[in-house]
Amino acid sequence: MILNDVEALWLFSLHAFKKDEILEDYHAKLSKQVIKYAQGLPLALTVLGLDLKGQSIHQWINALDKYKNIPNSDIHKVLVSYEGLHHTEREMFLDIAFFFKGEPLAKVMEIFDSCGFSPVHGIKRLIDKCLITIEWSDEYVWMHDLLQDMG
């Protein structure tokens, strides 16, 4: 799902500033550059917001310059640090991509536990790295379609 500019700015602000309001200062101008770069992809907006959270204006400018030098086709390589995962976490990511996307969290946890994957820690790491999400209203495991394709 691609977000429009207003939705994208709201999502980015939520992660970059921990506020659900759009700022009216220099950060707003830079935020709009991030929105343009992310092209409405919720995963990119979330990860970029978390990456820039708490950074100074100078650090934002530097990071945006870095992002602009990375081709859009390589965005997942920058945003997703699959290589930084433990081998069991990689297995969990791939299992979710191939078999468990949309499945109840309790079922997935039970299966991973029976495999000796330490699912409580592993699932949290995958969530922290924005590789998966848990729909809390119904507790199902989800991941962005682009991440599933990457898997």
- Same-domain pairing of 141 and 117: yes
- Structural domain of residue 57, as residue ranges? 5-71
- Same-domain pairing of 42 and 23: yes
Cβ-contact 21, 28 below 8 angstroms: no
d(CA 117, CA 123): 10
pTM higher than 0.85 for the full model? Answer: no
Give the domain CATH number at 13.
1.10.8
- Same-domain pairing of 89 and 144: yes
Give the domain CATH number at 133.
1.10.10
Q: Tell me the three state secondary structure of residue 138.
A: coil
Convert the pLDDT of each residue in 65-121 to its tens digit: 877 776 554 455 545 567 678 889 989 999 999 999 999 999 999 999 999 998 999
